[in-house]
Amino acid sequence: MAKVKGPTPQSQDFSQWYLDTIQLAELADYAPVRGTIVVRPYGYALWENIQRVLDGMFKETGHQNAYFPLFIPMSFLQKEAEHVEGFSPELAVVTHAGGEELEEPLAVRPTSETIIGYMWSRWIRSWRDLPQLLNQWNNVVRWEMRTRPFLRTSEFLWQEGHTAHATREEAEEETARMLGVYLKFAREYAALPVIPGRKTEREKFAGAVYTTTIEGMMKDGRALQSATSHFLGQNFARAFEITFQDRDLQEKYVWTTSWGLSWRIIGGIIMTHGDDQGLVLPPKLAPIQVVIVPIYKAESKERVLSAAKTLEAELAAAGLRVLTDDRDQYTPGYKFHDWELRGVPYRVELGPRDVEANAAVIKSRIGEKETVALGELKNLLPERLEALHDALFARALEFRKAHTRVVDDYEAFKEAVAEGFALAYHCGDAACEKAIQEETKATARVIPLEFPEHGVLQDDEALRETGEGVCVRCGRPAAYGRRVVFARAY
Amino acid sequence: MAKVKGPTPQSQDFSQWYLDTIQLAELADYAPVRGTIVVRPYGYALWENIQRVLDGMFKETGHQNAYFPLFIPMSFLQKEAEHVEGFSPELAVVTHAGGEELEEPLAVRPTSETIIGYMWSRWIRSWRDLPQLLNQWNNVVRWEMRTRPFLRTSEFLWQEGHTAHATREEAEEETARMLGVYLKFAREYAALPVIPGRKTEREKFAGAVYTTTIEGMMKDGRALQSATSHFLGQNFARAFEITFQDRDLQEKYVWTTSWGLSWRIIGGIIMTHGDDQGLVLPPKLAPIQVVIVPIYKAESKERVLSAAKTLEAELAAAGLRVLTDDRDQYTPGYKFHDWELRGVPYRVELGPRDVEANAAVIKSRIGEKETVALGELKNLLPERLEALHDALFARALEFRKAHTRVVDDYEAFKEAVAEGFALAYHCGDAACEKAIQEETKATARVIPLEFPEHGVLQDDEALRETGEGVCVRCGRPAAYGRRVVFARAY
């Protein structure tokens, strides 16, 4: 009898569990070029759901999609000093094309601030041309030394938003607005209790004035930067001479922002919710929300399958993404395990006696079996999927809290970051941050920031604390006026 | 007073008209790297509509999206002899990455048969793994000598479908099915009266057994290959050792297909429907289907704008993509020209007297003004957009017929291809085809094929003719059993 191969247990080797789960659930596979992956249909369907939700949120907030080229002249990247320093080591470079050596080598975009800055310098003339509110869904390349599917790949898919504004205020509002969009997406769709806030100077985007981030905790206690929104000030405006004539007839530099979320979020979903059986997908993003597993013998096959198909049509009409697993070569038990591995939020088991009794057995990916009336499923399952979303969020939040420690001395700090987040005061000095990293492998992940409309910090009292402590490592007066989240990170 | 700058008239310089229209309507702009373009929000919104419709059709026919990497080892491309010969001259090559020279240079994908073939050779084991029905929306790079926005760009966006089947028949059916999807899309959404059929051996895809195509006629009489569907036989299966164990326990090579449509179709839409005022967009794909232009003086502004906004909400609720142009700095006349340039299918003019009379003036992009009752617009406009679609299709079909000549001697052939399509018998010899190209600049575009479910050849009696003529150029017995479409092409 065929058996579903499960991943290595999390407790045995979390990293191997992650890699196993991705392969076994057929989310992705390794491609021949170092650090690249193939996203298989099941993984891509998850990405499409992420795209659909976010794209709608971007458009609601007034953004339009566009497409800028893959190739950027090397000279462009050199125009913003911090930017080139940050990205040069990771560039892939095209030197030959059409059978000839190119006069100027081309960078394969690692991000598109420079080329968009160049185009804006041609498009923007007047205050009437502002704001520019653009987004693109595309692929970028960053040649990383150590790679891991979804989390760090040589090429990845993402969206990068780029906006230009007449005033600093508007650009800062935009930076916060888009972090708010990511926060809402993470919490309300991916069930990820991420912490919003700012990056330290040492951890900010190369070329930004400051970077905001949402940071999640994975089940091994490590942090994952899940999306970022950058206030770029006038750095790129000056580098690319992006100016406009304002209402007062003065020629001024624009203020720009950029913000991005990549397929890395899939890694975050896997490592926040998954368990030893495999994936656990958040209901609002799962490619298949409900799987119907018909249970039959030869004599009952026809009527069970027919009932399953009727139910499938009913649930689909109710707006659910539903599939009947009518594969003949596998047992129901095999199918249960197979769909658990793939993280399908709910399954419906339907046997001949159920059909007779107008009932079915349902089971959430993380819950117990229960018997319910067939006719109620189309109303019940949408509610149950909502409840499962809430349960996943609550479970992940509990886990994060249980693995977060408020620490005031360096020994406790070291213990905390060995298994989760340390909330500590820090002096703000980059050299001290670097020393912490060398001594503990932990980095400053996020300086928490309240987003009142999301009430995020309400989740966790420790995050809300403000005060004037001393640096957990060096004892100098603390910066930021509040505790910083430190952790080992992906 | 600001005036809308229009394109160069088509009759004066069609090629310049095309370039002007793209720039002025803000569909796209030139990017700094040779042959690359930026697709601006208006152009990208058109592409998104194209994607949405096609993606739905692909999924309805059982396909799933996936994502394969941008970079392909050079050695992969060399595994299929015709394929490498066809694509090598156009490759962009990454030789350096992460600050080092790579051991094996990487091709930036010109198309993905090779990398997908490699992955299939790992994934496919049994007949149960077939068919594989995949598609991806992505960017590809082909370093062309002469480039033109949308039609031929160094990098372009497209979709590439790739399927693998257990039998030749299934793969051939798939090849035809997907050409049928493109045909339906072209006719029913883009209002393009394209001609479906096969390519000659000389014109087929590098690596295919045969290529099917839809060919459109542009307003300068030249042909545009608008999408292709290839039957690849076992060429790639043998090159990449893609085998499966069949029901009879024999190990067999799979049969594969590939099919693609790119943003080139946008060029086809522009050059089929556009006129001296600029774009004319097919209603089902237009980013804005209806623009409302309020006409007011200071004293009437508030009530006209309020009526416009009410109407906009009503039309949006009826499922239309509608925009009210409430820009204060432009006159209504400027706005009329501006939206004509951008090809918006219908406009509604709304002035104070209209508001009082509960009426509005409507005008299709290619028709006359008429006055209608405000309350009827939400029912009337959807009908009118349908009718405009039909009118655009009919107009383009008439144009194509008027510029197509059935020819049996070479002088008439030369005259025909100077201004449109020549329908001629041909011997099928590649050397004779090449001679025709050298002598007339025309190439064999398509050997027409009936698609009964679409009734396409019913459009044009000349295309339906079958027979056994002699070659229009060399007098040898004709191949194919029917006339071939020859034309100068983009």
Q: What is the CATH number of the domain that holds A111?
A: 3.30.930.10
Counting residues of chain A whose pLDDT is more than 90, the rounded percentage is: 92
Identify the pLDDT of residue A285: 98
The residue of chain A with its CA nearest to that of B55 is A48
A3 in a structural domain: no
Answer yes or no: are the C-beta atoms of B230 and B212 closer than 8 Å: yes
Distance in Å, alpha carbon of B407 to nearest chain A alpha carbon:
38
Residue B460 clears pLDDT 90, i.e. is over it = no
Indicate the average pLDDT of chain A. Answer: 96
More confident residue, A80 or A322: A322
Per the structure, the complete domain to which residue A423 belongs is given by 403-487
What is the dihedral angle through the alpha carbons of B441, B447, B448, B450, rounded to the nearest 10 degrees? -170
Whether B155 sits inside 8 A of A69 (CB atoms) is yes
End-of-domain residue from the set A350, A384, A418: A384
Calpha distance B435→B458 (Å, rounded): 32
- Residues of chain B found within 8 Å of residue A36, distances taken between Cβ atoms: 69-71
Calpha distance A393→A193 (Å, rounded): 6
End-of-domain residue from the set B273, B298, B331: B273
More confident residue, B95 or A456: B95
Q: How many CB atoms lie within 10 A of CB B393?
A: 21
Q: Which long-range contacts (CB under 8 A, 24 or more apart) does A389-396 make?
A: A389/A191, A389/A282, A389/A283, A389/A284, A390/A191, A391/A364, A391/A366, A391/A367, A392/A191, A392/A273, A392/A280, A392/A282, A392/A366, A393/A187, A393/A191, A393/A192, A393/A193, A395/A366, A396/A191, A396/A192, A396/A193, A396/A217, A396/A272, A396/A273
Single out the residue of B73, B67, B28, B162 nearest to residue A262, CA to CA: B67
The residue of chain A with its CA nearest to that of B74 is A33
| A203 plus A243 within the same structural domain | yes
| A248 plus A129 within the same structural domain | yes
**A174 token code pair:** 């935009």
Residue A345 clears pLDDT 70, i.e. is over it = yes
Q: A350-373 burial string, b = 16+ CB within 10 Å, else e?
A: bbbebbeeebbbbbbbeeeeeebe
pLDDT digits (tens, 9 = 90+) for A427-463: 999 999 999 999 999 999 999 998 777 777 777 888 8
Strand partners of residue B155 = B141
Distance in Å, alpha carbon of B67 to nearest chain A alpha carbon:
5
pLDDT digits (tens, 9 = 90+) for A61-113: 999 999 999 999 999 999 988 888 889 899 999 999 999 999 999 999 999 99
Q: CB contacts < 8 Å between A and B, how many?
A: 164
Calpha distance A338→B386 (Å, rounded): 47
The residue of chain A with its CA nearest to that of B68 is A38
* Facing A31 at nearest CB: one of B90, B115, B154: B115
β-sheet with A223-233: strand ranges across: A64-65, A132-141, A155-165, A255-262, A223-233, A210-217, A195-198, A443-448, A484-487, A421-424, A404-406
DSSP H helical segments within B215-292, as ranges?
235-239, 264-273
pLDDT digits (tens, 9 = 90+) for B235-252: 999 999 999 999 999 999
Task: Give A278's DSSP letter.
Answer: B
Identify the pLDDT of residue A1: 61
β-sheet with B71-73: strand ranges across: A71-73, A100-108, A92-97, B92-97, B100-108, B71-73
Q: Which of B30, B51, B67 to mutate to test the interface with A (most CBs of A within 10 A)?
A: B67
Strand partners of residue A383 = none
Q: How many CB atoms lie within 10 A of CB B323?
A: 17
Whether A96 sits inside 8 A of B98 (CB atoms) is no
- Residues of chain B found within 8 Å of residue A106, distances taken between Cβ atoms: 33, 92
Residue B319 clears pLDDT 80, i.e. is over it = yes
pLDDT digits (tens, 9 = 90+) for A376-429: 999 999 999 999 999 999 999 999 999 999 999 999 999 999 999 999 999 999
Answer yes or no: are the C-beta atoms of B1 and B266 closer than 8 Å: no
- Element at B348 (helix H, strand E): strand B346-350
B8 in a structural domain: no
**B148 token code pair:** 């033109």
More confident residue, A123 or B458: A123
| B226 plus B334 within the same structural domain | no
- Residues of chain A found within 8 Å of residue B155, distances taken between Cβ atoms: 69-71
Residue B355 clears pLDDT 70, i.e. is over it = yes
Q: How many CB atoms lie within 10 A of CB A475?
A: 12
Quickly list DSSP for A333-389: HHHHHHHHHTT-SEEEEE-HHHHHHTEEEEEETTS-EEEEEGGGHHHHHHHHHHHHH
A479 in a structural domain: yes
Whether B65 sits inside 8 A of A48 (CB atoms) is yes
What is the dihedral angle through the alpha carbons of A411, A412, A413, A414, rounded to the nearest 10 degrees? 60
Strand partners of residue A157 = A139
The residue of chain A with its CA nearest to that of B328 is A128
**Residue partners of A320: CB distance under 8 A and separation at least 6:** A289, A290, A381, A382, A385
| B197 plus B334 within the same structural domain | no
Calpha distance B138→A181 (Å, rounded): 26
**Residue partners of A313: CB distance under 8 A and separation at least 6:** none
Helix/strand/coil (H/E/C) assignment for every residue in B426-456: CCCCHHHHHHHHHHHCCEEEEEECCCCCCCH
Whether A139 sits inside 8 A of B138 (CB atoms) is yes
For the question of whether the overall pTM of this predicted structure is more than 0.90, the answer is: yes
Question: At A235, is the secondary structure helix, strand, or coil?
Answer: helix
pLDDT band with cut points at 50, 70 and 90 for residue B367:
very high
CATH of the domain at B338: 3.40.50.800
| A305 plus A225 within the same structural domain | no
- Residues of chain A found within 8 Å of residue B72, distances taken between Cβ atoms: 32-33
Whether A98 sits inside 8 A of B143 (CB atoms) is yes
Question: At B121, is the secondary structure helix, strand, or coil?
Answer: helix
* Facing B106 at nearest CB: one of A33, A122, A138: A33
- Residue B313: half-sphere exposure toward Cβ, Cα within 13 Å: 5
Residue B1 clears pLDDT 80, i.e. is over it = no
B203 in a structural domain: yes
The residue of chain B with its CA nearest to that of A128 is B329
DSSP H helical segments within A128-275, as ranges?
168-188, 235-240, 264-273
Single out the residue of B361, B350, B487 nearest to residue B424, CA to CA: B487
- Residues of chain A found within 8 Å of residue B88, distances taken between Cβ atoms: 99
Q: Strands A404-406 and A421-424: what pairing?
A: parallel
Distance in Å, alpha carbon of B135 to nearest chain A alpha carbon:
9
Positive or negative torsion for Cα B107, B112, B114, B117: positive
pLDDT band with cut points at 50, 70 and 90 for residue A468:
confident
**B166 token code pair:** 């257990």
Q: Which of A50, A65, A70, A145 to mutate to test the interface with B (most CBs of B within 10 A)?
A: A70
**Residue partners of B47: CB distance under 8 A and separation at least 6:** A67, B39, B157, B263, B266
| B242 plus B138 within the same structural domain | yes
**B370 token code pair:** 């008429």
The residue of chain B with its CA nearest to that of A87 is B98
A246 in a structural domain: yes
Q: Strands B290-294 and B322-324: what pairing?
A: parallel
pLDDT digits (tens, 9 = 90+) for A221-266: 999 999 999 999 999 999 999 999 999 999 999 999 999 999 999 9
Calpha distance B165→A447 (Å, rounded): 54
**Residue partners of B62: CB distance under 8 A and separation at least 6:** B133
A283 in a structural domain: no
Q: Is A31 left (phi over 0), alpha (psi -120 to 50) or beta?
A: beta
A139 in a structural domain: yes
Identify the pLDDT of residue A422: 98
Range scoring the smallest mean pLDDT among A73-77, B47-51, B385-389, B451-455: B451-455
Whether A93 sits inside 8 A of B97 (CB atoms) is yes
End-of-domain residue from the set B246, B273, B300: B273
| A53 plus A110 within the same structural domain | yes
B348 in a structural domain: yes
Location of structure tokens 């979903």: A269
| B266 plus B295 within the same structural domain | no
Calpha distance A422→A444 (Å, rounded): 9
Strand partners of residue A244 = A252
Distance in Å, alpha carbon of B77 to nearest chain A alpha carbon:
13
CA B268 to chain centre: 6
- Residue B138: half-sphere exposure toward Cβ, Cα within 13 Å: 27
C-alpha distances in Å from residue A388, one per residue of A280, A364, A365, A481: 11, 7, 9, 37
Answer yes or no: are the C-beta atoms of A286 and A248 closer than 8 Å: no
| A348 plus A431 within the same structural domain | no
Main-chain dihedrals φ then ψ at residue B248, nearest 5 degrees = -85, 10
Identify the pLDDT of residue B482: 94
| B163 plus B54 within the same structural domain | yes
| Beta strands per DSSP E along B199-327 | 210-217, 223-233, 243-245, 251-253, 255-262, 290-294, 322-324
pLDDT digits (tens, 9 = 90+) for B58-90: 999 999 999 999 999 999 999 988 888 889 899
Residue B101 clears pLDDT 80, i.e. is over it = yes
Residue B331 clears pLDDT 80, i.e. is over it = yes
Residue B454 clears pLDDT 80, i.e. is over it = no
| A107 plus A248 within the same structural domain | yes
Q: Provide the number of structural domains found in chain B.
A: 3
Radius of gyration of chain B, Cα coordinates, nearest whole angstrom: 25
Distance in Å, alpha carbon of B84 to nearest chain A alpha carbon:
13
| B125 plus B185 within the same structural domain | yes
Whether B71 sits inside 8 A of A47 (CB atoms) is no
Indicate the average pLDDT of chain B. Answer: 96
CATH of the domain at A479: 3.30.110.30
Residue B383 clears pLDDT 90, i.e. is over it = yes
Answer yes or no: are the C-beta atoms of A130 and A165 closer than 8 Å: yes
Whether B65 sits inside 8 A of A44 (CB atoms) is yes
Calpha distance A367→B281 (Å, rounded): 53
- Element at B76 (helix H, strand E): helix B74-77
Strand partners of residue A406 = A423
Q: Give the residue-averaged pLDDT of B159-182.
A: 97
